[in-house]
Structure 1
């Protein structure tokens, strides 16, 4: 029999859970908010902690609002976690969570966390999405919070409307019929006129599938630059916030035009393009062949840029000499230890670290500080409204004696 439990919720943690304590256990509760008393159903039980989902709100938080999306209200879709939370409160909790990760993971007693930058529009901001494909019908949907059930989607309030139009057109055509394909990635360009989709087998990497698709790309405009992005290449989902990311990176590096700069995990060249206009030389490293191909197109007009394909920990040690500054934008797992050691060996004076996971950012921040750097600031940025995900830009400066 499934256990029901009544609990008072006291805080919010990374992952989108509200937390409370009951019967000697810490409860991680989906659908609750701090300050609430709820009745929750245990979904996974361990000795010292358990996961649960709210069944009834007994005492609601004043921060609770009515979610826009019917799928969220039905607790069916796992794409958003915080539609029931007032947007200003979302921003406040994200800032608190970043500070907590730096205390708990990074062991910083007083990390310089700056105020979070809100998204200009917390709705309809995503320019690309990966749908799951129902094996029998070929219909498209999202995965439920249980990570097993496929939920057909009739509306989505964080996707650009053009993406839902693509989904509806594909569904009306009897779905995806490629045998064995289980995912479909859809992208829409900045002006809405360019649209592309590519489907994948379960064991197929995004760039492998898109490499076989002629014309499988869209164009994104960031400030005064345009970027070709293939269907398998990474790009920030929130274009307005991507502009703010560029601003934050450039503000920290304070380039004068004479620097030799590294761009690690450089993707299709988002930061490289803006660095190239402000530095003497930019060396970019990216492991994805598809992204490297896009980057070489996007950066062809910049003679001071070189793009090398490969893993950072393998390619970076091959460079001779020192670098003045570095930009790092690794995947969610953060930097491999050998990659971080190779970066430190190049002795850049300033580092701008862009991260989509405050946990691995805090871990790597501690490693950089231990290696001779000072953490100058951490600026959270809300790239993903209505979800628990948090983007940050952390600035580091090499200590004089290091």
Structure 2
């Protein structure tokens, strides 16, 4: 269904002639679209509108127009959504890091569930799946343990606007942990020697990692740490500078508890933790199973995992690509846990699983589209989905994590 779009005081030009920061349209916003924008239409042209909420009647300003993509932002609201709230961040809008601060958090969860459902709806094998309500984040602001800032003029730290590519200097970021904002203020104006600065925080330990090493004499804190330490459910973890770690620390334990509960682990299972990273899932689930095979391609991450889990005697480490390891690991696994990057699993990973047929597969994903693509392969290859549980690790943004548990089909379930 196309939304009504009219120009104020003049005729709308065709898409190739839409001028950034010049043309304004009045639109009724449709559903949530990519990058957290709302969709709207002019004739056959799709608009991605930032700063809106589905159902609103708004005036938008074109901020970027090409033959493939037209982006706009809300500049005036004629009919506001009941879910609209005042964004607390002074940089909201120019900074595109968190695009949903203007939406009530409870409604954010509803929209995130819809994003997952839409990703599945276009795939016949997944179209009728029940998507559970989103597990909310314990914290809706101040939750991020990892920040990567761009360095702008005069050594200022900030972010790049995703649409305009302009630099936005910031003195704080509301979704970062307070300690990261304190560190940001100490570094502000002293980072001209580099182009980016990463700050990582052990929320439960207070340890900080700042990379790259900064040599300016005006910086009052240490930088260039090789790693920092974190503690989850009483288990210590060392996380090196190149290694991945989930950005929302309290939600990690929520995810592990959910997986453990819904797998109903009895202690006899063999678990392959694919994309094991620094060993978070392998370590926290090892107490519930007989044996864990931790597979990770990154040398830095697998070294962290070995250091983190050295005291556990039921974990075996394999540093190689997951698609290679699964083909060569000749062990009868009860469960395979997949936690791939945003791009999803390599096709060979899915092909191996449909051939070796483990009893259960747990798929943890931060991208509903690649998740849906990979689930289709598993479902057509002999697995059935027990449930799909979205969990929010990224409040104030459109991003959503999902935990999907699949069981191997049996004659009984097929019948």
Q: Same fold (TM over 0.5)?
A: yes
Partner of 1:42: 62
Match of 1:162 in 2: 179
Q: Distance in 1 between matches of 2:148 and 2:378?
A: 34
Choose from 324, 338, 341 the match for 2:334. 324
Structure 1 partner of 2:103: 85
Worse-matched range after superposition: 45-54 or 294-303: 45-54
Structure 2 counterparts to residues 1-400 of structure 1, below 5 A: 1=19, 2-45=22-65, 50-72=70-92, 75-105=93-123, 107-134=125-152, 137-146=154-163, 148-172=165-189, 174-177=190-193, 181-191=194-204, 193-199=206-212, 215-400=225-410
Q: Structure 1 pair 59/393, CA: closer, same or farther in 2 (3 Å)?
A: same
State the shift of 1:109 in Å. 2.2
- TM-score normalised by the chain length of structure 2: 0.88
CA RMSD of aligned residues (A): 2.1
Instruction: Tell me, in whole angstroms, the C-alpha distance in 2 between the residues paired with 1:368 and 1:221.
Output: 34
After TM superposition, give the deviation of residue 175 of structure 1 in Å: 1.8
Contact 1:142/1:151 (<8 A) preserved: yes
**Structure 1: 5+ residue stretches without partners:** 201-212
Contact 2:211–2:224 (Cα < 8 Å) also in 1: no
| Runs of 5+ consecutive residues of structure 2 not aligned to the other structure | 1-18, 214-222
Residues 105 and 357 of structure 1: is their aligned pair in 2 closer, same or farther, counting only changes over 3 Å?
farther
Matched length: 384
Aligned to 1:209: none
Deviations for 1:117-147, whole angstroms, at most 9, x for unmatched residues? 011110100011111122x533211112326
Instruction: Give 1:94 deviation, angstroms.
Output: 0.5
Q: Answer with 353-362 or 162-171: which moved more.
A: 162-171
147 and 187 in structure 1: CA distance in 2 versus 1, 3 angstrom threshold: farther
Within 2, Cα distance between the matches of 1:225 and 1:106? 42
- Counterpart CA distance in 1 for 2:123 and 2:357 is 25
Q: Which has the larger radius of gyration?
A: 2
Give TM-score, length-normalised by structure 1. 0.90
Cα pair 2:112 2:400 within 8 Å, conserved: yes
User: Displacement, 1:192?
Assistant: 5.3
Q: Secondary structure at the match of 1:51?
A: strand
Distance verdict in 2 for CA 1:9–1:150, change over 3 Å: same
Q: Is contact 1:228–1:297 with CA below 8 Å preserved after alignment?
A: yes
Larger displacement relative to structure 2 (28-37 or 384-393): 28-37
Give distance in 2, aligned partners of 1:192 and 1:176: 29
